[in-house]
Chains A and B, each alone.
Chain A
């Protein structure tokens, strides 16, 4: 144990001292922030002026919405019920870009559907959401309370406005929460690949410069392998934490300095009320803020992210170490790492598939397969498990734990038998023979 820890510390020290590690520590989050920047910038473009039809059969909104008109959005009101298919196909509705459903239940269930033809920009979504919500609030304050509208906003429940594409009303593909899960999963696998390759390189380098023989005269091969995996794993974890911190700081700075208009209601709509009111409302209802600060359960996601990251890393890390130990040369090792890369790519595909078909049998299978579960569980976790089904996460976790333990044992056998073999051409039969030898 002491020896494994010493090996781990050496690996950690080497990683922390390397320029590439420090470079990645800064470049990685920067890249993510740049992607987010483009997402924002891109999301802000598109159709600038919207013609919105509000179907209000019970006349809740009384054909009113804004004190002063918004130059970008024109609202019209319809008195009857309009079905989504009717809105999509009927000639008389072609001129409208979106249909907002305001039925009699909205005052109790706070749910409204918005059907659109072309994906509205984030900014446009925020405007529609904000403007409809304001009007509903006015109606509610007038009908049900003696509170001022400002006090009411402090205690009210937010309106859940579901945006649906008329051509994809189930809207499974665009569920942002699912994409966040896939992003988490992809992050796990990026780290596994990045640091798995680091394990591979570290093992092959020790083999090629022959220090491994000096080490093996003191350290058992399994201790050496575990120490290496743990040390590089800790480095990966440190890098992940730094990435998260930098991304968080970057997002805060971006909100304040780069895209203030996305978050500042005075840029969204002018209603002639107090600025503080606007700010309160906008931060509450902006889709991005809503997603990041309200809808994603960061605590839960991060907790499971860490568990699946650790076990997934052990599962794949042991395989990378075994390939490094059994290969006759560095190029040999890189060749044998291809199947692992395919497996990692397949896991990402499984995550995407599960995002599109979360309830399918195949998604369930991927949810439990140890080499796909880290990414699929993240996707399902972000989409949300049905009540009473949270045990599925733990089952997946236990399966991954057992598989990781099994892989560590087998990889240990390969590592032990292969680490002192030099200059050979690795063949599959050779791996099988080494696997059989204790």
Chain B
């Protein structure tokens, strides 16, 4: 278990983090969210002992985190680089040995990962010969080479094509299943919804939200209902009482739509179904939960006076 307790950090007069606490458990993918400049990278650097916090501590399984714990951590920073003149193998050897592996173990692990990603022939290639996406893969491999118990990944999916995004996501899911503790900092909210168990949102150096993805979405729902139907849009609108408000519609075909409605007063789901019976052919009805993207935008967009959220 990794505990971040009351971390604060300032750079000269600028506050980067203010009393941030969170707990991440083994077998969990924890999404660290926030707009640019919110303090995520600073927090990640503090966890990695790259910089020291002004106040607060980081604990691993109850112990204060020190330099010796770093071999348990695999860190993939957002702006990551490789030594261009080195070969993939030399690079892996250098970083793997820095993290405590023997040459033999590095070579074994490298072979395993290269085979897994079906890129065995890259081993002797120089980094400068690789495309950006290929280099990203090498960076990912170098991060997980020493089988760290804790993985801290800052935008791990950026630079990948959709096929490789899925590949990396599957790897992360597999690692979670093996009990790894994964902190994922990303702006890709779709991925957050898909693979993160819990998230924390940092904005203006403070943590403003923490919880499971489903809890957060549930807590931020606005009572919207979506209905997918076949029939006439006019008939559908006529059938709505004043107790329902049409918020949005999506045209799927000439006679197929998805409409998003808001309930008014005491009306409920059953009332809607009763009103629509015989007017249109209902294909599906569901309660609309806000996406993580919507929640993110809603929470981090500055509110001006007189503007309704």
A residues within 8 Å of B by Cβ? 3, 6-7, 10, 13-14, 17-18, 206, 209-220, 420, 433
Kindly report which residue of chain B lies nearest to residue A419, judged by CB atoms: B50
Q: How far is the CA of A212 from the CA of B82 in the complex (A)?
A: 9
Q: Which of A6, A14, A210, A220 contacts B80 (CB 8 A)?
A: A210
Residues of B within 8 A of A420 (CB): 45, 50-51
Q: How far is the CA of A218 from the CA of B74 in the complex (A)?
A: 9
Query: What's the least CB distance linking B77 to chain A, in Å?
Result: 4
Q: Are B12 and A210 closer than 8 Å at their CB atoms?
A: no
Q: Are A213 and B77 closer than 8 Å at their CB atoms?
A: yes
Q: List the 10 closest A-B pairs by CB distance, nearest first.
A: A209-B81, A211-B81, A217-B75, A210-B79, A210-B81, A213-B77, A217-B48, A216-B50, A218-B98, A10-B94
Query: What's the least CB distance linking B69 to chain A, in Å?
Result: 11
Residues of B within 8 A of A219 (CB): 98
B99 at the interface (CB under 8 A from A): yes
Residues of B within 8 A of A215 (CB): 98
Q: Are B98 and A3 closer than 8 Å at their CB atoms?
A: yes
Q: Mark B119-144, 1 if CB is under 8 A from A, else 0.
A: 00000000000000000000100100
Q: How far is the CA of A216 from the CA of B98 in the complex (A)?
A: 11
Q: Are B97 and A214 closer than 8 Å at their CB atoms?
A: no
Q: Which of B50, B76, B82 contacts A209 (CB 8 A)?
A: B82
Residues of A within 8 A of B75 (CB): 213-214, 217
- If A6-B97, A213-B79 touch, whether A14 touches B48 (CB-CB below 8 Å) is no
B286 at the interface (CB under 8 A from A): no
B 34-68 contacts with A by CB, 8 A:
45, 48-51, 67
Kindly report which residue of chain A lies nearest to residue B50, judged by CB atoms: A216
| Further contacts, 11 of them, CB under 8 A, given A206-B81, A213-B80 | A10-B83, A18-B85, A209-B81, A211-B82, A212-B81, A215-B98, A217-B70, A217-B75, A218-B99, A220-B67, A420-B51
B residues within 8 Å of A by Cβ? 12, 45, 48-51, 67, 70-71, 73, 75-77, 79-86, 90, 94-95, 97-99, 139, 142
Query: What's the least CB distance linking A407 to chain B, in Å?
Result: 23
Q: How far is the CA of A18 from the CA of B83 in the complex (A)?
A: 13
Residues of B within 8 A of A214 (CB): 75-77, 80-81, 95, 139, 142
Query: What's the least CB distance linking B147 to chain A, in Å?
Result: 15
Query: What's the least CB distance linking A219 to chain B, in Å?
Result: 6
Query: What's the least CB distance linking A296 to chain B, in Å?
Result: 40
Q: Are B94 and A6 closer than 8 Å at their CB atoms?
A: yes
Q: How far is the CA of A10 from the CA of B94 in the complex (A)?
A: 7
**Which of A3, A7, A216, A433 is packed against the most chain B CB atoms within 10 Å?**
A216
Q: How far is the CA of A128 from the CA of B73 in the complex (A)?
A: 77
Query: What's the least CB distance linking A341 to chain B, in Å?
Result: 27
- If A6-B94, A217-B48 touch, whether A210 touches B67 (CB-CB below 8 Å) is no
Residues of B within 8 A of A211 (CB): 80-83
Residues of B within 8 A of A17 (CB): 85
Residues of B within 8 A of A213 (CB): 45, 50, 75, 77, 79-80
Residues of A within 8 A of B82 (CB): 209, 211
Residues of A within 8 A of B85 (CB): 14, 17-18
Query: What's the least CB distance linking B25 to chain A, in Å?
Result: 21
Q: Which of A7, A218, A433 contacts B70 (CB 8 A)?
A: A218
Q: Are B84 and A209 closer than 8 Å at their CB atoms?
A: yes
Q: How far is the CA of A246 from the CA of B192 in the complex (A)?
A: 62
Query: What's the least CB distance linking B185 to chain A, in Å?
Result: 13
Residues of B within 8 A of A216 (CB): 48, 50
Q: How far is the CA of A216 from the CA of B46 in the complex (A)?
A: 11
Residues of A within 8 A of B71 (CB): 218
Q: How far is the CA of A212 from the CA of B80 in the complex (A)?
A: 8
Kindly report which residue of chain A lies nearest to residue B76, judged by CB atoms: A214
Q: Are A14 and B83 closer than 8 Å at their CB atoms?
A: yes
Residues of B within 8 A of A206 (CB): 81
Q: Are B12 and A433 closer than 8 Å at their CB atoms?
A: yes
Kindly report which residue of chain B lies nearest to residue A430, judged by CB atoms: B12
Q: How far is the CA of A215 from the CA of B83 in the complex (A)?
A: 11
Residues of A within 8 A of B98 (CB): 3, 6-7, 215, 218-219
Query: What's the least CB distance linking A267 to chain B, in Å?
Result: 52
Residues of A within 8 A of B51 (CB): 420
Query: What's the least CB distance linking B125 to chain A, in Å?
Result: 15
**Which of A3, A6, A17, A217 is packed against the most chain B CB atoms within 10 Å?**
A217
- Listed by A's residue number, 9 A-B pairs whose Cβ atoms lie within 8 Å are A10-B83, A209-B81, A209-B83, A211-B82, A211-B83, A213-B80, A214-B75, A214-B81, A217-B75
Residues of B within 8 A of A10 (CB): 83, 94
Q: How far is the CA of A61 from the CA of B248 in the complex (A)?
A: 123
Kindly report which residue of chain A lies nearest to residue B85, judged by CB atoms: A14
Q: How far is the CA of A53 from the CA of B83 in the complex (A)?
A: 70
Q: How far is the CA of A3 from the CA of B67 in the complex (A)?
A: 12
Q: How far is the CA of A433 from the CA of B83 in the complex (A)?
A: 31
Query: What's the least CB distance linking B128 to chain A, in Å?
Result: 11
Q: How far is the CA of A433 from the CA of B12 in the complex (A)?
A: 9
Residues of B within 8 A of A217 (CB): 48-50, 70, 73, 75, 77
Q: How far is the CA of A324 from the CA of B301 in the complex (A)?
A: 38
Q: How far is the CA of A391 from the CA of B84 in the complex (A)?
A: 49
Query: What's the least CB distance linking B184 to chain A, in Å?
Result: 16
Q: How far is the CA of A6 from the CA of B102 in the complex (A)?
A: 12
Residues of A within 8 A of B79 (CB): 210, 213
Query: What's the least CB distance linking B23 to chain A, in Å?
Result: 21
Kindly report which residue of chain B lies nearest to residue A221, judged by CB atoms: B50
Kindly report which residue of chain A lies nearest to residue B95, judged by CB atoms: A214
Q: How far is the CA of A211 from the CA of B135 in the complex (A)?
A: 12
Q: How far is the CA of A310 from the CA of B125 in the complex (A)?
A: 36
Kindly report which residue of chain A lies nearest to residue B97, judged by CB atoms: A6
Query: What's the least CB distance linking B124 to chain A, in Å?
Result: 14
Query: What's the least CB distance linking A401 to chain B, in Å?
Result: 28
Q: How far is the CA of A210 from the CA of B83 in the complex (A)?
A: 10
Query: What's the least CB distance linking B153 to chain A, in Å?
Result: 12
Query: What's the least CB distance linking B91 to chain A, in Å?
Result: 9
Q: How far is the CA of A433 from the CA of B13 in the complex (A)?
A: 12
Query: What's the least CB distance linking B47 to chain A, in Å?
Result: 9
Kindly report which residue of chain B lies nearest to residue A18, judged by CB atoms: B85
Q: How far is the CA of A219 from the CA of B12 in the complex (A)?
A: 25
